[in-house]
Amino acid sequence: MTKPLEGIKIIDFTHVQAGPACTQLLAWFGADVIKVERPGSGDVTRNQLRDIPDADALYFTMLNSNKKSLTLDTKKPEGKEVLEKLIRESDVLVENFGPGALDRMGFSWERLNELNPKMIVASVKGFSDGHHYDDLKVYENVAQCAGGAASTTGFWDGPPTISAAALGDSNTGMHLAIGILTALLGRDKTGKGQKVAVSMQDSVLNLCRVKLRDQQRLERVGYLEEYPQYPHGEFGDVVPRGGNAGGGGQPGWVLKCKGWETDSNAYIYFTIQGHAWEPICHAIGKIEWIDDPAYKTAEARQPHIFEIFNTIEVWLADKTKFEAVDILRKFDIPCAPVLTMKELANDPSLRASGTIVEVPHKKRGSYLTVGSPIKFSDMKPEVTASPLLGEHTDEVLTGLGYSKQEIFNLREVKAV
């Protein structure tokens, strides 16, 4: 099957998570992704949090599938020469080094554009160019704080909280992938490459859009009716942390199910969708609430929403999270069990859809990873193992026209 990005050659000058997540996605869709890594060490995640001695860590294998690995010291003149050759025949270069690193290496945007005017140069940085923090190096949690996620996540009586979801890293990578694909389409029209830049702060803020909505509502009316602080608590002048409250117009909360005393994940998320009130009353056996003026409308319910949630918890007390969802789904109530990583890893539906995949690996045996969350009618992205360090060095150099002797010479000076 021909994949849509087949024929697109990408220099993957990325490391850790934000950049690799982007290039991995493009590789799944058919791009020829060549990961350029420092000889001897490679991407730092190859060694981070190893669970098997001498085998690439899961952090690396789960973010670098379907790629080739070329070792190249791009600070040595011989290495720079190889990189220049690669640049001349590639479509995209993706990088997420610290601020200024590519310029210091001698590959500024101007130089890259001179070497290959059709090439798209895509970068992730912590902050956007010209931002007063644009000299900062940034990791995931730093971005979550800078992008507004931390100040609005967690409970009101606790500190700002980091999400487990990689809002700063993989999310930024996904934004960059959209930028690259857009620039490739643009190039079809203009024949020209361009620079595509995404900052982690901006990408986090983009996902916190509704919190900026809430800031403006708060400034106008002084309260936010869907937050637990309403109507009895206090509002200050910034969007507060709302615990597990629903973020849209539907109140919701995490509710205890059977076994919560010993199982920290025996919970469901329960949503009270306005028009589903009647089915909810039927489901939990509270028919009398349907026409009771104290419960009938969303406005009437909001002041005592926690009493309602408490009552639902009483109903849930003898049901596991799975039993509860099986009942509630019949009433069309938006809800889900709180699933653990163990449950997700073994979920037959996720295995069948290719969202959880088992990948054979030369050194690890096999490992689980998350496959493409994007599904196509004409293509099933296949996940292949991440490359060993330098696994494709000879192949890539031969493709660039280097002879065996020249490759030997490059090895002698430790340029590859």
| Binding-site ranges for ligand CAO (CB under 6 A) | 16-19, 36-38, 72-75, 96-98, 101, 104-105, 124-126, 137-140, 169
Do 283 and 331 touch, CB atoms closer than 8 A? yes
Structure tokens at 265: 């994940």
Exposure on the CB side of residue 10, measured as CA atoms within 13 A: 32
Residue 60 burial (CB count, 10 A): 25
Q: Would you say 216 is a known binding-site residue?
A: no
- The residue whose Cβ lies closest to ligand CAO is 98
Q: Rg of the chain's alpha carbons, rounded to an integer?
A: 26
Which CB, 133 or 230, lies closer to ligand CAO? 133
Non-local (6+) Cβ contacts of 336 within 8 A are: 268, 269, 325
Is 154 annotated as belonging to a binding site? no
The 8 Å CB, 24+ separation contacts for 183-192 are 183/120, 183/122, 184/8, 184/91, 184/92, 184/120, 187/118, 187/120, 191/118, 192/117, 192/118
- How far is Cα 172 from Cα 164, in angstroms, rounded to an integer? 15
Shortest distance, CB of residue 61 to ligand CAO, whole angstroms?
A: 16
Helix (H, G, I), strand (E, B) or coil at 349: helix
- Is there a binding annotation on residue 104? yes
Q: Is the peptide bond before 348 cis (omega within 30 degrees of 0)?
A: no
Report the catalytic residues.
Answer: 169
Q: How far is the CB of 287 from ligand CAO (least distance, A)?
A: 52
Annotated binding residue at 59? no
Among residues 98 and 373, whose Cβ is nearest to ligand CAO? Answer: 98
Consult the annotation and say whether 131 binds a ligand: no
Location of structure tokens 């990189």: 83
Q: What is the DSSP letter of 221?
A: H
CB of 76 to ligand CAO, least distance (A): 8
Q: In this complex, which beta carbon is closest to ligand CAO, that of residue 36 or of residue 177? A: 36
Flag whether 236 is marked binding.
no
- Report whether 223 belongs to an annotated binding site: no
CB of residue 20 to ligand CAO, shortest distance in Å: 8
| Shortest reach from residue 78's CB to ligand CAO, in Å | 12
- Compare residues 134 and 263 and give the one whose CB is closer to ligand CAO: 134
Closest CA to 155 of 242, 85, 34, 27: 242
Tokens of 155: 């409970």
Instruction: Pick out the residues of the known binding site for substrate.
Output: 248-250
Instruction: Pick out the residues of the known binding site.
Output: 15-18, 38, 72-75, 96-98, 104, 137-140, 248-250
Instruction: Pick out the residues of the known binding site for CoA.
Output: 15-18, 38, 72-75, 96-98, 104, 137-140
